[in-house]
Amino acid sequence: MEFLKSGIKTVLGGTEPGQQPSAAETVEKLVDRVYSSTLLEDRRDACRALKALSRKYRIEVGAQGMPPLVQVLQNDGQDTEIISYALDTLCNIVTSEEFDEEADNPTVSVNVGGQFTEMFIKTPENVTMVMGYLDEYDFRVRRAAIQLITSLISNKTRELQDLVLVSPMGVSKLMDLLTDSREVIRNDVLLLLIELTKGNSNIQKIVAFENAFDRLFDIIREEGCSDGGIVVEDCLILLLNLLKNNSSNQQFFKEGSYIQRLAPMFVLAEEVEEAGWSPQKMSNFHCLLQVVRALVTPSNQHQVVTACQRVMQKSKLLNALCEILMSSGVPADILTETINAVAEVIRGDRENQHELSRVMAPSNPPRPVIVVLLMSMINEKQLLALRCAVLYCFECYLYRNADVQRTVVQTLLPSSATDVSSLSTGQLLCTGLFSSDALANWFSSVAIMHTLVENVALKEELLRVLLAPTGGQRPNTLLEMCTNLMQRERTRLQSKIGLLMLLSVWLAHCPGAVKALLETQGTTVYLTAQLCSNEHDEREFLFQGMCAFLMGLCIQFNDNSLPNQRREDISQLIIKRIGQETFCNKLGEVSRHEAYSRACKQAQIRAKSAGELLLDYEYCKLYKGLEALIAKLVSGFDVDGIELTELTLSSEASALVSQYKGIIRGMDAQIQTLQQSAKELGQENAELKEKLSAEQSLRAQISDQNTLLKAQLGATGQTPVQSQETSLAREEELNAARYQANMYFAENIRLNKEIEILRQQLATEKQRADASQESLLATQKDQEDLLELLADQELKLASYEHKTTAPKSTENQNQTHAETASEEGIPSETANR
Amino acid sequence: MSYAYLFKYIIIGDTGVGKSCLLLQFTDKRFQPVHDLTIGVEFGARMITIDGKQIKLQIWDTAGQEAFRSITRSYYRGAAGALLVYDITRRETFNHLTTWLEDARQHSNSNMVIMLIGNKSDLDSRREVKKEEGEAFAREHGLVFMETSARTAANVEEAFINTAKEIYEKIQEGVFDINNEANGIKIGQQHSPTNPSLPGSGGAAGAANSGCC
């Protein structure tokens, strides 16, 4: 401390002697320095000082220091030392744990860390920034960042989970840190992940997706499995977080064959029995058992439970659990949890149930483990939790398994009492039922009750059970014994409640048991008296309600075979002695009691104290199903005992109804067959009709052909006899001929017209020919004229020539030439014309 | 049950395109016509055989709704294969493929095999996206394409198995680093190095073998 003070002094540059600065002032100065100092060293020193002060003066540092620390994170990222101081300081401020240094500081309230967390995460970027420092490999920075995030999550789980989810690769980045080779980092990340996965199935799934199961099993193995240290426990707690109420991860766990990796951890080494159990081993083992139960707890998805139960049997996990039950030196706490785990591993799974029934305890003589367990249940000296666990295990052993139920009931029946030497389950249960320990009574009643759940045949069977009385009187039936015990003044309330539950389940849906109960002396009177009494104890109310329920069952499942104890008689009793309203009110008391809501919550029996053990899960289920029916039934009777509503039918009436239903069903079936046959007949009819029409058309065709043939015969003229049909054919032929004649006629007209046109054309052609002939003649005439003229000219020429030949030969020749030319010009003109 | 390899798949795509139905058809061989919104992510698994080897498929079926996008993004990195699904009767689911693909490429490892699936091929009368368009989109972006029907189970097996084949081939070629489990591939105990001549896969498989036994 002295060193610290001197350190601060050097940082602050000393103070005036005699005057100690207050914490707030010191912090203020340091904050100022972090803000304003330009030298990294100064800022670093101030941060270191703030870190030192933050444990003792958390409020002061937190109130003033947060903004500058955030600023450091923003700006000084390259200096790992200052960052680690800043992160450490923030971690001290927001943590929810109380430091020794601040123990005497009255201003520190319980939730100061939570308030600072709220301040810090108001700016979501702050969280993202701290997440960013996870990438920094430096040991101090990474570790401080992990611790800060862990503290933030544990204070504001929901908000931080959302921030991590939206930060890109946030969960994946955290998962990568699990592989950090430095163990301290890995272990801190485990703590972080435990906080992070609390109650957030989305994060749980991502963590599982990022190979968490593999990582965790690797670490558990490295650390020595259940003999390992607290790191193993941390791993198992994280495993539990990932599996609880997360069916997707449960399925992944099963599919990934991780149950097989779980199984060997339950095998106890030989030396454990001598060495004893260390507290850490007990914690580890407890967590291991919790992990098993998280996979098969009845509230899980049914198919997941069934699948996991199968694997647990195949992987010898169930076997190992049974071994633990039988080994010595197992602490009671672990034994209790193991019994609970076995219970849930076998619940409703026939094979697993039978496996448990085969397990023998190494006692002398060897006894079935079930018997040994039941011995503990009825043993007053055993721990309450252990006894509860045994009952739960027994219930799960019987659950949905008629064979096992029958085997247990068999041990109660007289025939099986031959082997006196060995203790049977039935004997133990009877011992418990009639012991002086109220809790043993309660446990045994509930245990017997569970042999009857949903099994009417066994209810009838159990009516046959006779118990030998102590004092040589006539043997009583078990039912009589129970009723008598319930009516006895000395019997404690807890026992009575147990017996009432047993009787109620016994009577439900079993008219034989109702009859047996009503035959027992004084039962109706006793129940009526209870309902009329006006006790004010809360537990009395519960008891009265349960009596009302039992009475209701006596009406509901009454087959009216007892005179004076028929449905109407009991209803009249209620109306006249109790009153319908009061009855219904009392009936409702059961569901109003806190024990009811507690028992309804889960099949497992949990009780902090013996007094809390009142109602059982299966009884509550029965009550839930029938309460409304009984209330309606009772208020449905009028004063004269006539049922007003048809919904409230006695078993006799319902038998009648079902008889009618049967008749109706038979008639219905008959109608159906008739309809079917009618349909078939109709079909047949249609087929026949079709056939008929086909035949008819065939006939018509044939007759047509016939006609045609006849007509052909007629046409050839060889038919001596002219039938009407042939004449008709002739007429037709005639018509055809006529038609053809008409056709020819029309053709004729058309051709005539054509001839006319051609004639006209010919005439015009002739005219044109005549005209051209004329012009030809004229031309020929012209030509002749011209030829004549030419001949004349030639003649003349010859005469002239003759005249001139001798004297003027040369001249004449020339002249001739010229004349020839002129002569030649005339015919060419003529031609031109 | 032992396996040679384990592949992690994710199924992505718009809400209501039938992602969960595809998974249910593949793992349970049944069809559930009622649309049951997936919350966050659901898990399913099945064993298949490729090349005579048992291969376990672990499939994470993601929620298609925008509200869960930040959650589903966390699953890209660790997956070896992705089925990107659209609905052939709703064009907008096809139009959103680019966004999905960008998202996947950005957050996943580069070797992730993406198979494009046009689902509801049984509803051909209400078809809005032609098969050719899907083929073209796949070609353009280097994806494998297939039209399936989760209702009739047509091509559902093929879609999952072909994706696995593609991953398997990539392993044989030594493209995938199988020792890094962050890639969505795990080597089972049953594995024996099949092709020691290949330097990448042979050496890695041998090392892993000695590690897990």
Q: What DSSP letter does each residue of A444-512 carry, written as one string? A: HHHHHHHHHTT-HHHHHHHTT-EE--TTS-PPEEHHHHHHHHHH-SSS-HHHHHHHHHHHHHHHTT-HH
Question: For residue A275, is it within any domain?
Answer: yes
Same domain (yes/no): A59, A166: yes
pLDDT mean across residues, chain A: 86
Q: Are A186 and A231 in a shared domain? A: no
CB A414 within 8 A of CB A363: no
A-chain CB neighbours of B38 within 8 Å are: none
**Structural contact between residues A15 and A9, judged by C-beta atoms closer than 8 angstroms:** yes
Q: What is the pLDDT of residues B103-146, one digit of tens each?
A: 999 988 888 999 999 999 999 999 999 999 999 999 999 999 99
Q: How far apart are CA A600 and CA A615, in angstroms?
A: 9
Instruction: Point out the least confidently predicted range of A268-282, A391-405, A774-788, B16-30.
Output: A268-282
The band of A55, judged by pLDDT with boundaries at 50, 70 and 90, is: confident
Question: Is the Cβ pair B40, A169 closer than 8 Å?
Answer: no
Last residue of a domain, one of A177, A199, A221: A199
Mean pLDDT, residues A100-125: 81
B193 within domain boundaries: no
pLDDT grade for A196, boundaries at 50, 70 and 90: very high
Residue A505 lies in a domain: yes
Look up residue B39 and give its two tokens. 């919350």
pLDDT on residue A794: 87
Domain endpoint, select from A358, A385, A407: A358
Binary contact (B74, A171; C-beta < 8 A): yes
* Tokens of residue A517, six digits: 């109960």
For A37, counting Cβ atoms within 10 Å of its Cβ (0-12 exposed, 13-18 middle, 19+ buried), the class is middle
Residues in chain B closer than 8 A to A205 (CB atoms): 40-41, 43, 60
Tell me, what CATH number does A571's domain have? Answer: 1.25.10.10
Smallest Cα distance from A295 to chain B, Å = 15
Residue range of the domain that includes A71? 21-199
Residue B57 lies in a domain: yes
pLDDT (tens digit, 9 = 90+) per residue, A233-252? Answer: 999 999 999 999 999 999 99
Residue B205 lies in a domain: no
- Tell which of A318, A337, A358 closes a domain: A358
Residue A164, in any domain of the structure: yes
pLDDT band at A362 (very low <50, low <70, confident <90, very high): confident
- Residue A269, token pair as written in the block: 């080494």
Q: How far apart are CA B116 and CA B141, in angstroms?
A: 10
Q: Is the pLDDT of residue A638 over 70?
A: no
Confidence band, pLDDT 50/70/90 cuts, at residue A168? confident
Q: Each residue of B58-75: pLDDT tens digit?
A: 999 988 888 888 888 889
Which chain A residues touch B42 with a CB distance below 8 Å?
Answer: 248
What percent of chain B has a predicted confidence (pLDDT) above 90?
59
Q: Are residues A576 and A635 in the same domain?
A: yes
Residue bearing tokens 């689902």: B119
Q: Mean pLDDT, to the nearest integer, of A522-551? A: 86
Question: Is the pLDDT score of A471 beyond 90?
Answer: no
Per-residue model confidence (pLDDT) at position A567: 85
In a domain, B202, yes or no: no
* Domain-embedded: residue A369: no
pLDDT value for A321: 94
Same domain, A512 and A583: yes
Higher pLDDT, A611 or A196: A196
- For A2-47, what is each residue's pLDDT tens digit? 555 555 555 555 445 556 778 788 888 898 888 888 888 898 999 9
The token pair at B53 is 């080897």
Mean pLDDT, residues B146-166: 94
| 8 A C-beta contact, residue A555 and residue A572 | no
Percent of chain A with pLDDT over 70: 88
Could B43 and A251 be called an inter-chain contact, meaning their C-beta atoms sit closer than 8 Å? yes
Q: How confident is the model at residue B195 (pLDDT cuts 50, 70, 90)?
A: very low
Mean pLDDT lowest for which of A104-113, A160-169, B16-25? A104-113
The span from the CA of A466 to the CA of A630, in Å, is: 31
Count of domains in chain A? Answer: 3
Check whether residue A30 and residue A148 sit in a common domain: yes
How many Å from the N-terminal Cα to the C-terminal Cα in chain B? 16
Mean pLDDT for chain B overall: 85
Question: Alpha-carbon dihedral of residues A208, A210, A211, A213, nearest 10 degrees?
Answer: -30
Q: Which of A305-314, A461-470, A542-551, A645-654 has the lowest mean pLDDT?
A: A645-654
Residue B181 has pLDDT above 80, yes or no: no
Closest CA to A410 of A390, A396, A424: A424
Q: Which of B1, B5, B74, B187 to mutate to test the interface with A (most CBs of A within 10 A)?
A: B74
What is the nearest CA distance from B172 to chain A, expressed in angstroms?
Answer: 23
Number of H helices, E strands in chain A: 40, 4
What confidence score (pLDDT) does residue A106 get?
A: 67
How far is Cα of residue A771 from the mean position of the Cα atoms in its chain? Answer: 116
Q: Is residue B198 part of a domain?
A: no
Count Cβ–Cβ pairs < 8 Å, chain A vs chain B: 56
Calpha distance A44→A81 (Å, rounded): 8
Q: Is the pTM of this model over 0.80?
A: no
Specify the CATH number for the domain of residue B54: 3.40.50.300
What contacts A170, CB < 8 A, 6 or more positions away? A131, A163, A164, B74
In this structure, what are the phi and psi dihedrals at residue A181, rounded to the nearest 5 degrees?
A: -70, -20
pLDDT over 80 (residue A733) = yes
Residues A262 and A182 in one domain: no
- Dmax over Cα atoms in chain B, in whole Å? 56
Do residues A298 and A189 share a domain? no
Check residue A108 and give its pLDDT: 65
Select the residue of A165, A249, A251 nearest B71 (Cβ to Cβ): A165
Residue with tokens 């923003």: A74
Task: Choose among B44, B70, B107: nearest Cβ to A165.
Answer: B70
The SS3 assignment for A604 reads coil
Residue A154, domain member (yes or no): yes
Within a domain: A701: no
Say which of A168, A170, A209 has its CB closest to residue B60.
A209
**Contact list, B180 vs chain A (CB under 8 Å):** none
Tell me, what's the pLDDT at A818? Answer: 52
Q: Closest approach of chain A CAs to the CA of B88, in angstroms?
A: 29
Q: Which residues of chain A does B81 touch, with a Cβ-Cβ cutoff of 8 Å?
A: none
CA distances to A511, A652, B19, B68 from A167, in Å: 65, 69, 26, 13
> Which 3 state secondary structure label does DSSP give A13?
coil
Chain A residue with minimum CA distance to B6: A256
pLDDT tens-digit series, residues A332-342:
999 999 999 99
Our CA-based measurement puts residue A308 at a distance from the nearest CA of chain B, in whole angstroms, of 14
Tokens of A223: 């650390």
Q: Are A223 and A231 in contact (CB under 8 A)?
A: yes
Give ipTM to 2 decimals. 0.83
Tell which of A161, A171, A172, A177 to mutate to test the B interface (max B CBs under 10 Å). A172
Please tell me whether residues A487 and A633 are part of one structural domain. yes
- Token representation of residue A405: 């139920």
Q: Is B110 a domain residue?
A: yes
Query: What is the per-residue pLDDT for A505?
Result: 95
Does A326 lie in the same domain as A184? Answer: no
pLDDT above 60 for A484 = yes
Q: A509 with A618, same domain?
A: yes
Q: In terms of domains, do A190 and A46 share one?
A: yes
Angle between helix axes A112-121 and A80-94 (nearest 10 degrees) is 130
* Residue B208 pLDDT: 37
Range of the domain at B169: 3-185
As given in the structure block, the two tokens for residue A92 are: 């001290």
Q: Residue A77 — very low, low, confident or very high, per pLDDT cuts 50/70/90?
A: confident
pLDDT over 90, % of chain A: 44
Partners of B118 in beta bridges: B86, B147
pLDDT of residue A793: 87
Residues A192 and A88 in one domain: yes
